[in-house]
Amino acid sequence: MSTESAAAKPAATPETDAPRDFIRQIIREDLANGKHAAIRTRFPPEPNGYLHIGHAKAICLDFGIAREFAGWCNLRLDDTNPGKEDPEFVEGIKDDVRWLGYEWHDLRHASDYFEVLYCAAIKLIEDGNAYVDDLNPEEMREYRGTLTEPGRNSPHRDRSVEENLALFRRMRAGEFADGSKTLRAKIDMAAGNMNLRDPAIYRIRKVTHQNTGDAWPIYPMYDYAHCLSDALEGITHSLCTLEFEDHRPLYDWFVDKVDLPNHPELWQHMRDAGFRTEPAKPRQIEFSRLNLSYMITSKRKLAQLVNEGLVDGWDDPRMNTLRGLRRRGFTPGGIRLLIERLGVSKQNSVIDYAILENCVREDLDAAAPRRMAVIDPLKLVITNLPEGHEESLTFANHPKDESFGSRKVPFARELWIEREDFAEVPPKGFHRLKPDGEVRLRGVGIVKCEKLIKATDGSVAELHCTLDLESRSGMPGADRKVKGTIHWVSAKHAVAADIRLYDRLFNVPTPDDENDGKTWLEHINPDAKRIVRGWLEPSAAEASPEQRYQFERLGYFVADRLDHLPQSPVFNRAVTLRDTWTTKQNA
């Protein structure tokens, strides 16, 4: 059991340059009208899987709005479906919320309120607003009707209050088999909104619960537990995605009929147990969910990818789980920037995945120190330097921010360069190294390719070049112009590393669309993960897990949070320096 960790903060209105979306406008009006003294929100995930990118929008809204208005946000785990929930997912959810930069005011579980929800159900029965039904699930669906035809009353709908109370208490005592009886709200079987056609409130499930053990053989349904949990916690604004818009009348019906603020006898025991509870009437507000191209957000399908070994777990960097995006090297700041730029609306749409990548690039450009690495090495020997030549060069850690300081980079006669930075037969407009051509080595000077050494298969194995010593820093020819500049690492000092090159998991914008005759699994991108053996300057190898760098001219990379060690480095590519996907698709 947890209690509130701090006293409520006074309400405040954000500065005028704060976001002005419709949800925040509602909140400003509520505060201005004195409807609420303080803003209370909640983030209510179900711990039956890891959070994905779609949840990031809800997290940023729930926690962000509470922070903006000097209120608070609870993390409430919806554990009403035992058997499908796992403590592993609970810890993952908590970790993901903190990684995105937020902290909850209070950690709650729907199971904290099981006794209150049960007492509230008794009240509904006593008031003639609920009854015990014997119809099985198939019969309930048949009686429910369709979108164009009204439903029919259950033959058990008119049971007396006394009979319903007795049956419900026997359900609570575990006397009936799973699925044999259901407690239903008595609303209107002819309602145009099918959610109001006597929805289920409780079902019998003799499953051990991770928090309450075997204390309960019956469990509340989500629509019932969620709204009353909001009311019990004093939530002022219950933010949810558009698919819950049709559920709002039911949400309000339960809140109004139970009326927790005026019935303290239903929850007084929680106060006695240490919960600082002040029930209120919450308002549900819906917003459009975050849908990105080249992604899926179905928990079932994400679990299928994991269970069938199509990815390397929930935190595989190809996955759009928050754990996967984190391991790939995406930043909390980049994700928050995406949410901020997309804004909040009631219009569902699909956002181009490239927008997320650009937000991550923008965040990393400012935050990531620079390092040099080579991922497809070609040896370059500077023949006019003596054997054994070594020196230490000073490089800025960030070209745009002096506060990052500088580092020493070893330089020697033999170097590794990127193979793509040399062309024996250069295409038009090629400004890198070629036979008899010149290029500037980053931070060193200008070299000229004098000779090629080839392998037995005819490929270029080694370049012999001369360094224009007058073009080095501080020399008279340091300003001599050449069109190309390439990076390098010292072959003698470089540290070998596994470089994992990640890309989009799916190769079509809408993997779920099977109009092309293929299943969503057939849209998996076979090139979404490649592992190459690369070479790093020594300071890059010394990175701590999750340290992010820009490898100059290559992209943004992160030291793998699980596998990286300084003596055996492992780096994951987060994003390339620019959008190469669109270029490839249009080629």
Would you tell me how many other CB atoms lie within 10 Å of the CB of residue 405? Answer: 10
Residue 487 assigned to a binding site: no
Q: Is the four-CA dihedral 525, 531, 532, 535 of positive or negative sign? A: positive
Residue 55 assigned to a binding site: yes
Residue 455 assigned to a binding site: no
* Spatial distance between the Cα atoms of 226 and 76, rounded to a whole number of angstroms: 10
Residue 101 assigned to a binding site: no
Residue 47 assigned to a binding site: yes
What amino acid occupies position 418?
Answer: E
Residue pair 337/506 in contact by the 8 Å Cβ criterion: no
**Length, in residues, of the chain:** 587
**Catalytic site residue from 94, 157, 206, 289:** 289
Q: Output the DSSP codes for 246-263.
A: GGHHHHHHHHHHH-GGG-
* Spatial distance between the Cα atoms of 252 and 255, rounded to a whole number of angstroms: 5
* Spatial distance between the Cα atoms of 14 and 16, rounded to a whole number of angstroms: 7
Give catalytic status of residue 428 as yes or no.
Answer: no
Contacts of 533 (CB under 8 A, 6+ apart): 496, 497, 498, 499
Contacts of 35 (CB under 8 A, 6+ apart): none
CA distances from 94 to 90, 547, 560 (A): 6, 22, 21
Give catalytic status of residue 299 as yes or no.
Answer: yes
Q: Using the structure block, give the residue that is written with the tokens 């930069």.
A: 101
Residue 58 assigned to a binding site: yes
Residue pair 534/541 in contact by the 8 Å Cβ criterion: no
Residue 53 assigned to a binding site: yes
Residue 54 assigned to a binding site: yes
Residue 237 assigned to a binding site: no
Q: Residue by residue, what is the 3-state secondary structure of 357-398?
A: HHHHHHHHHHHCCEECEECCEEEEEECCCCCCCEEEEEEECC
Give catalytic status of residue 46 as yes or no.
Answer: yes
Radius of gyration of the chain measured on its C-alpha atoms: 31
DSSP 506: B
Residue 57 assigned to a binding site: yes
Residue 390 assigned to a binding site: no
Residue 543 assigned to a binding site: no
Contacts of 406 (CB under 8 A, 6+ apart): 394, 395, 396, 397
**Catalytic site residue from 9, 94, 299, 448:** 299
**Catalytic site residue from 9, 28, 46, 245:** 46
Contacts of 526 (CB under 8 A, 6+ apart): none
Q: Residue by residue, what is the 3-state secondary structure of 183-213?
A: EEECCCCCCCCHHHCCCEEEEECCCCECCCE
Residue 70 assigned to a binding site: no
Which residues define the annotated binding site? 46-48, 52-58, 78, 222, 241, 289-290
Which parts are annotated binding residues for L-glutamine?
Answer: 78, 222
**Binding residue positions for ATP:** 46-48, 52-58, 241, 289-290
Active site residues: 46, 289, 299
